[in-house]
């Protein structure tokens, strides 16, 4: 089609595309890569825009308060929005009508790579503008931070509009009480109080940053699939992260919480365990792969506490994750296998589990400490590694019939093979419910099993065992069902 003919068509049909945004700041905003800085949306006002290429994203319009501008006071939101797959626009303005102009500019078809889902975020006095515009309809929801408005300033929001209000308790008492009262008047409004000296969230201490999880969870809403970098704990104010996969469907789904290995000292939530992500997802298990603090900075008792905290977190947020809090398995490999077996061996209020899977785990630290290649490592794991301490943290000495069902998966060419056999003997003696899968010739590490059909069959057996234990029935894995269809 010639250019002139295309022009005639778009003019006569009303489909004239919007002009592309022109950023005046070529280097963006120096806060997040890919931002278009100082985009003119009117003759005298600009906004910063983040709408990367790829699939169109839902978007948020950020309205700062009475102080600062589009790059101050609201900056903690930029990376959080990106982390959950949102585009965002931070607006400079003088009046509410300026923000209306900015939204009209943003929504012009084809100008930005965004979907029709637009959320308004108001900080401080920007909260009033967010509520006023939200009352006009056409938005996905409204979020406020440290809202400042009078008791008579709220307009009625459309029925069904989602609202989240995050409010610090510090400073004069009136703003907190007014915001809390407004939220009570709005059906479905979620109010998240923060115990802090300041109303401004940029000043809140890291041990008060639970609002970030509330905010990102609210943004994700009912989205399924892979969720990245969920903070499940903040020991010492530093975040501990997990990745999660949430299946489609109504649920609630059985859940698997996974702990990586690597000698209690290295690794993270995407190493070592990656061969399990797809088969668990295809079998419609929700899964959560966690980071935990590592030795020698935090020793084994602290790592165990991190795993317990992750279990409690998933249980506490079971509705948000669409999981059944009474159908949870913990799974670990190598040193992670030790962690899950040890957690299962101890009473744990609020972190009870219904199944345990350990790949080539360590079950007897007293035996490991006697081996010359490990002697220098033991002080990294315990402050005072006495024989009593090593025994206390060795699952093989805490086997009882009350243990949750255990599945052990072990290769015969693994240095930990004999230890797994001894642990299985103790489980059988105690009449604990257990199963052992032995892979002939397999070395240590499931990543090294990939590409070997004689070893990767464990995936089907794992899924079947989890289905039997957590669902009460033996259900063939999707991989097996697919294979049958092609025979």
What is the C-alpha to C-alpha distance for residues 114 and 89, in angstroms, rounded to an integer?
Answer: 11
Among 3.30.70.270, 3.40.50.1820, 3.90.340.10, 3.30.565.10, name the CATH number for the domain at 19-219: 3.40.50.1820
Prior bond to 319 cis, omega within 30?
no
Res. 268 pLDDT band, cuts 50 70 90: very high
**CATH 3.40.50.1820-classified regions of the chain:** 19-219, 224-485
Which of 186, 244, 258 is CA-nearest to residue 216?
244
Among 2.30.30.30, 3.40.140.10, 2.60.40.2140, 3.40.50.1820, name the CATH number for the domain at 224-485: 3.40.50.1820
Average pLDDT over residues 359-373: 91
Which residues, 6+ apart, have CB-to-CB distance to 314 below 8 Å? 232, 255, 257, 288, 321, 323, 325, 328
What pLDDT is stored for residue 466 in this prediction? 98
- Maximum Cα–Cα distance for the chain, whole Å? 86
Whole-prediction pTM: 0.85
pLDDT at residue 484 above 90?
A: no
What is the C-alpha to C-alpha distance for residues 337 and 464, in angstroms, rounded to an integer?
Answer: 19
User: What is the rounded average pLDDT for all residues in the chain?
Assistant: 90
Average pLDDT over residues 460-481: 75
Res. 64 pLDDT band, cuts 50 70 90: very high
Average pLDDT over residues 414-418: 97
pLDDT per position as a tens digit, 140-196:
999 999 998 765 555 688 888 999 999 988 765 678 888 898 899 899 899 999 987
Q: Where are the beta strands (DSSP E) in 337-453?
A: 355-359, 406-411, 434-439
Which of 130, 105, 107, 104 is CA-nearest to residue 119?
130
Average pLDDT over residues 330-348: 96
pLDDT at residue 198 above 80?
A: no
- Give yes or no for a contact between 147 and 134, defined as CB atoms under 8 angstroms apart: no
Compute, in degrees rounded to 10, the torsion defined by CA atoms 107, 111, 112, 115.
Answer: 50
What is the C-alpha to C-alpha distance for residues 414 and 333, in angstroms, rounded to an integer?
Answer: 13
Between 53 and 12, the higher pLDDT residue: 53
pLDDT at residue 229 above 70?
A: yes
pLDDT at residue 255 above 50?
A: yes
Prior bond to 12 cis, omega within 30?
no
């Amino acid at each position: 089609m010639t250019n002139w003919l295309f022009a005639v068509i778009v003019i006569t049909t009303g489909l004239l595309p919007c002009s592309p945004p022109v950023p005046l700041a070529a280097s963006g905003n120096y806060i997040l890569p890919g931002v278009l800085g100082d985009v003119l949306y009117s003759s005298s006002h600009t906004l910063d825009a983040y709408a990367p290429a790829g699939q169109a994203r839902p978007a948020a319009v950020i309205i700062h308060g009475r102080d600062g501008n589009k790059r101050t006071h609201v900056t903690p939101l930029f990376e959080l929005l990106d982390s959950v797959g949102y585009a965002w626009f931070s607006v400079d303005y003088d009046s509410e009508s300026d923000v209306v102009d900015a939204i009209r500019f943003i929504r012009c078809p084809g100008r930005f790579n965004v979907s029709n889902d637009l959320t308004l975020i108001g900080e401080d006095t920007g909260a009033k503008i967010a509520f006023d515009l939200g009352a006009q309809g056409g938005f996905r929801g409204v979020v406020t931070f440290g809202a400042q408005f009078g008791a008579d300033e709220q307009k009625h929001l459309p029925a069904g509009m989602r609202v989240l209000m995050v409010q610090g308790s510090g400073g004069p008492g009136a703003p907190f009480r007014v915001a809390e009262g407004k939220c009570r008047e709005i059906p479905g409004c979620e109010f998240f109080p923060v115990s802090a000296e300041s109303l401004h969230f940029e000043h809140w201490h890291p041990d008060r940053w639970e609002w970030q999880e509330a905010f990102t969870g609210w943004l994700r809403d009912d989205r399924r699939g892979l969720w990245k970098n969920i903070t499940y704990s903040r020991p010492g104010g530093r975040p501990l992260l997990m990745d999660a996969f949430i299946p489609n469907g109504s649920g609630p789904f059985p859940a698997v919480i996974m702990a990586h290995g690597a000698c209690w000292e290295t690794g993270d939530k995407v190493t070592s365990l990656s061969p399990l992500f797809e088969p668990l997802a295809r079998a419609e298990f929700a899964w959560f792969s966690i980071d935990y603090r590592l030795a020698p900075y935090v020793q084994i008792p602290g790592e165990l506490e991190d795993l317990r905290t992750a279990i409690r977190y998933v249980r506490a947020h079971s509705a948000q994750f669409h999981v059944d809090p009474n159908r949870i398995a913990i799974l670990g490999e190598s040193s992670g296998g030790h962690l899950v077996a040890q957690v299962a061996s101890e009473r744990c209020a609020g972190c009870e589990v219904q199944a345990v899977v350990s790949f080539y785990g360590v079950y007897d630290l007293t035996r490991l400490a006697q081996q010359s290649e490990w002697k220098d490592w033991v002080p990294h794991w315990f402050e005072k590694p006495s024989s009593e301490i090593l025994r206390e943290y060795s699952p093989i000495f805490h086997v009882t019939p009350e243990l949750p069902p255990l599945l052990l998966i072990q290769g015969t060419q693994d240095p930990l093979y004999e230890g797994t056999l001894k642990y299985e003997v103790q489980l059988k003696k105690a009449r604990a419910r257990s199963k052992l899968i032995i892979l002939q010739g397999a070395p240590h590490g499931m990543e090294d099993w990939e590409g070997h059909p004689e070893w990767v069959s464990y995936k089907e057996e794992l899924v079947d065992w989890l289905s039997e234990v957590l669902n009460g029935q033996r259900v063939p894995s999707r991989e097996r069902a697919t294979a049958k269809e092609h025979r």
